[in-house]
Amino acid sequence: MRQVSKYIILFSSIATIAFLGSCKKTFLDSRPPTSLTPEQALASETDLANALRGAYAGLRAVDYHGRTVPVIGDLMADNSYVSSLNSGRYTQFNTYTFTVADGNFLGFWNSAYTDILRCNNIINSTLSGGNIPQIKGEAFAVRALCYFSLIRYFARPYTDDPNGLGVPIVLKYDPDLYPPRNTITEVYKQINDDLNQAYNSMNAFTNSSQFSKYAAKALQAKVYMTMGDKTNAKAAAVDVITNSGFTVVSAASHAAYWNSGAFRTDKVETMFEVSSDAIANLQFDALPNIYSQTGYGDLMCSDELYALFSAADVRKSLYAPGFRPAGVPTVFINKYPNTSGDRSDTKIIRLSEVYLIAAEASLPTDEASALTYVNYVTSRRGATAIASTGATLFEDIITERRKELAFEGDRYLDLQRLKRDVVRSANYPPTAKTIAYSNFRRLAPIPQLEMDANPNIRSQQNPGY
């Protein structure tokens, strides 16, 4: 069987066609003459809408935004750690011992490129009119998210070396394609081009489980901040804050917000999330179960993070001191309480983060605005207002990001873009308490199966592997 890139490219068409009928695994090895082409499978607006649902469903894959991506974003940093009593999941990220054969990174890579090809088939459709601009706009946004997820783990930060190796850009179905890695600059250009297309194409807001115009703009603010482009990051963030109609969840509604597993239709807080409802979910492997003590319960909140929350901060109630194993004090993570029925969703972008982006992007030239934006969040969490200046203000905003976005997969990626060492507490193994920014494992390895299948990427492995 062809592997990875070849597998992904072929699977893209299969996934789209799957809404019309099932297919056998042997289809991956040879395409029968009676099979449908993407153009034949996507022959109407309804077909495109069905394909878009497939693209959203693809984000929910267990080694993608369904669980692994948000999990490692905190575990590879200093927010979560694996309990000594565990099911064996994600221990290699706790100890920084993953290799080119790592199954989670392979699943991440495969899932992202499978979804990219699903989006490509929608974007490249020649259909027009009706709701097709909205459908294509959402597909552009999903594709941008896929590339943004990949580039931040498999390549150095943009500000490190824009001309360094990024990830392969694949924009159309081609079963004979063996794509090499594009440069980091090229990948970020593609991401921003896609988000501009998304912003200009979409007008409708349906709910938080689908991209909307301002959800795309909010994601672009995050992209620009990751690139170190504070001017464009702030402009995008202010556009969202001023014009989107979204509101930040209040302190009084904070607990109810996190206790709800349903997507939002009221434009409160969640701009985009990967939905797991009572029917379409990962069952026991859904994100909540890796944290819940009624599930695997493997991951704990670090003592250092828990100590950052003041007694009056409503976010502190999302974490509970306890013991695991018996007699060993720990702090449980209860941010995702819905482990059955309508599962807790994976948050991708929230309005509170947009305010924090605007705050960080205001520095160093406009401290007054930075304080206004960051304290808009603290005032809605029962937290002490920030009153610092200079370098301390910057650190306070980064700390506020750590508290607000804990266990949403952002902490490690913040340390990456800021080029900071990972410095962990006593909760972690002695051999993995400090992970220098220069450590080769601060980058994910290109999966070995991809290297074996694709001759044009074989010489482009990340250093150290």
> Is the pLDDT reported for residue 29 higher than 50?
no
pLDDT in tens, 430-442: 999 999 999 999 9
Q: Give the pLDDT of residue 14.
A: 38
- Rounded CA-CA distance 251/308 in Å is 17
- Rounded CA-CA distance 452/448 in Å is 6
Q: Give the pLDDT of residue 27.
A: 26
pLDDT band, very low/low/confident/very high, at 203 (cuts 50, 70, 90): very high
* 346, 57 Cβ separation under 8 angstroms: no
Instruction: Give domain status of residue 465, yes or no.
Output: no
> Is the pLDDT reported for residue 5 higher than 90?
no
HSE, side-chain direction, 13 A CA sphere, residue 180: 10
Give a three-class secondary structure readout of the chain. CCCCHHHHHHHHHHHHHCCCCCCCHHHHCCCCCCCCCHHHHCCCHHHHHHHHHHHHHHCCCCCCCCCHHHHHHHHCCCCEEECCCCCCCCHHHHHCCCCCCCHHHHHHHHHHHHHHHHHHHHHCCCCCCCCHHHHHHHHHHHHHHHHHHHHHHHCCCCCCCCCCECCCCCCCCCCCCCCCCCEHHHHHHHHHHHHHHHHHHCCCCCCCCCCCHHHHHHHHHHHHHHCCCHHHHHHHHHHHHHHCCCECCCCCCHHHHHHCCCCCCCCECEEEEECCCCCCCCHHHCHHHHHCCCCCCCEEECHHHHCCCCCCCHHHHHEEEEECCCCCEEEEECCCCCCCCCCCCEEEEEHHHHHHHHHHHHCCCCHHHHHHHHHHHHCCCCCCCCCCCHHHHHHHHHHHHHHHCCCCCCHHHHHHHCCCCEECCCCCCHHHCEECCCCHHHCCCCCHHHHHHCCCCCCCCCCCC
409-445 burial string, b = 16+ CB within 10 Å, else e?
bbbbbbbbbeeeebebeebbeeebeebeeeeebbbbb
Q: Give the pLDDT of residue 35.
A: 67
Q: Give the pair of three-digit tokens for residue 337.
A: 């309480």
Q: Give the pLDDT of residue 61.
A: 98
> Is the pLDDT reported for residue 332 higher than 70?
yes
> Is the pLDDT reported for residue 22 higher than 50?
no
Instruction: Give domain status of residue 331, yes or no.
Output: yes
Q: Give the pair of three-digit tokens for residue 38.
A: 């993407």
Q: Give the pLDDT of residue 8.
A: 42
Tell me how far the alpha carbon of residue 155 is from its chain's centroid: 15
HSE, side-chain direction, 13 A CA sphere, residue 57: 15
- Rounded CA-CA distance 164/415 in Å is 19
Query: Regarding beta strands 329-333 and 80-82, do their DSSP bridges make them parallel or antiparallel, or are they unpaired?
Result: unpaired
List the single range of 5-19, 162-176, 334-348, 380-394 with lowest mean pLDDT.
Answer: 5-19
User: Which residues partner with 308 through β-bridges?
Assistant: none
Instruction: Give domain status of residue 156, yes or no.
Output: yes
> Is the pLDDT reported for residue 15 higher than 50?
no
Instruction: Give domain status of residue 357, yes or no.
Output: yes
Q: What is the CATH number of the domain that holds 439?
A: 1.25.40.390
Q: Give the pair of three-digit tokens for residue 45.
A: 């607006």
Mean pLDDT over 353-379 rounds to: 98
Instruction: Give domain status of residue 81, yes or no.
Output: yes
pLDDT in tens, 115-155: 999 999 999 999 999 999 999 999 999 999 999 999 999 99
Instruction: Give domain status of residue 464, yes or no.
Output: no
* Residue in the structure block whose two tokens are 């979910």: 281
> Is the pLDDT reported for residue 110 higher than 70?
yes
Total domains in the fold of the chain: 1
- Cis peptide bond upstream of 445, omega within 30: no
Distances (CA, A) of 8 to 34, 175, 390, 450: 21, 9, 48, 10
Mean pLDDT over 414-420 rounds to: 98
pTM, 2 dp:
0.93
Instruction: Give domain status of residue 463, yes or no.
Output: no
Which domain, by its residues, includes 401?
5-453
> Mean pLDDT, the chain, as a whole number?
93
pLDDT in tens, 238-277: 999 999 999 999 999 999 999 999 999 999 999 999 999 9
Q: Give the pLDDT of residue 348.
A: 98
Instruction: Give domain status of residue 374, yes or no.
Output: yes
pLDDT in tens, 37-75: 777 789 999 999 999 999 999 999 999 999 999 999 999
Alpha carbon dihedral 31, 35, 38, 39, in 10-degree steps, equals 130
Q: Give the pLDDT of residue 83.
A: 97
Q: Give the pLDDT of residue 49.
A: 97
> Is the pLDDT reported for residue 231 higher than 60?
yes
* 373, 355 Cβ separation under 8 angstroms: yes
Q: Give the pLDDT of residue 135.
A: 98
Mean pLDDT over 330-338 rounds to: 97
